[in-house]
Amino acid sequence: MMQNKYLVIYQDLLEQIEDGIHPVDSYLPSENELKGQYQTSRETVRKALTLLSQNGYIQKVRGKGSVVLPRNKFDFPVSGLVSFKELRDKLGEDNKTHVLALETAVPSRHIKKQLMIDDDDTDTLVTTVIRAREINGEKVILDKDYFLAEKISGLTEQVAEDSIYQHLEGTLGLSISFAKKEITVEDPTEEDRESLDLDGFHNIVVIKNYVYLDDATLFQYTESRHRPDRFRFVDFARRHH
């Protein structure tokens, strides 16, 4: 299995950082050393280091080297595109997924708008998946996913209970490229009250997510509605001067 050289270097170094071979506050080997170790050019080494830097693992300091940054164990993968399955695997708590709906149909006005489908368009079908996420016996997250039906297939209840993303990227070979997220706090809807264990909570955290493929086409809109006590968002942002 051949890979891009810079990705091999990236993954190598990442593993070494996670294994503590390069502890926090220590310096990675210099770009010249790495260039020798991997029998490659300096620009290729730099590509790997730039990726590590973008993902918050190292900081490059002029005249000194690349320092390993501290990482909080609980950080979710850097700023998003995080699915419930990944999250659940990290947290390792008791949990369950209830599939409340799974259907393919002509979407409502509101969903058409979110997916940039023309209002007059009555041909484009959208697959809707609604799931309640249960953690430690309480239903605390309501996930409402809307997919362009033409792009997906084989979406069964089984798949929806596990990980849709795995299905998309693994089985269907779709390549997710980027996403736009918006986080707000709203009043719970009737649906929220019915589907979740809201107890005494008066608010709900809403994450709206627009997901795009490699060819820049929008193909998914997701609304993830969290009970406030079960919401946490971690972000790493670099300033591009």
Partner DNA sequence: AAGTGGTCTAGACCACCCA
Partner DNA sequence: GGGTGGTCTAGACCACTTT
Give residues in contact with its own copies (CB under 8 A).
43, 51, 54-56, 59, 61, 67, 69, 72, 78-81, 175-185, 202-203, 205, 212, 214-216, 228-229, 231-241
- When asked if residue 39 is in the footprint of DNA (CB under 7 A), the reply is yes
Out of 16, 30, 104, 203, name the contact with DNA by CB under 7 A. Answer: 30
Distance CA 106, CA 127 (A): 9
Out of 11, 26, 32, 171, name the contact with DNA by CB under 7 A. Answer: 32
Asked whether 53 and 236 are in contact (CB, 8 A), the reply is no
Residue 157: how many other CB atoms lie within 10 Å: 12
CA gyration radius, the chain: 21
- When asked if residue 56 is in the footprint of DNA (CB under 7 A), the reply is no
Give which of its own copies, DNA, none residue 28 binds (C-beta under 5 to 8 Å, depending on kind).
DNA
**Is the CB of 103 or the CB of 229 nearer to its own copies?**
229
Give which of its own copies, DNA, none residue 88 binds (C-beta under 5 to 8 Å, depending on kind).
none
**Is the CB of 39 or the CB of 184 nearer to DNA?**
39
**Is the CB of 75 or the CB of 103 nearer to its own copies?**
75
CA-nearest of 159, 5, 193 to 83 is 159
Angle at 29 between CA 23 and CA 33, to 5 degrees: 165
Minimum distance from CB of 152 to DNA (Å)? 18
- Do β-strands 176-186 and 138-148 pair in parallel, antiparallel, or remain unpaired? unpaired
- When asked if residue 46 is in the footprint of DNA (CB under 7 A), the reply is yes
DSSP letters spanning 29-95: PPHHHHHHHTTS-HHHHHHHHHHHHHTTSEEEETTTEEEEPP--TT--STTS---HHHHHHHH---E
Would you tell me which residues interact with DNA (CB under 7 A)? 4-7, 27-28, 30-33, 39-44, 46-47, 49, 60-66
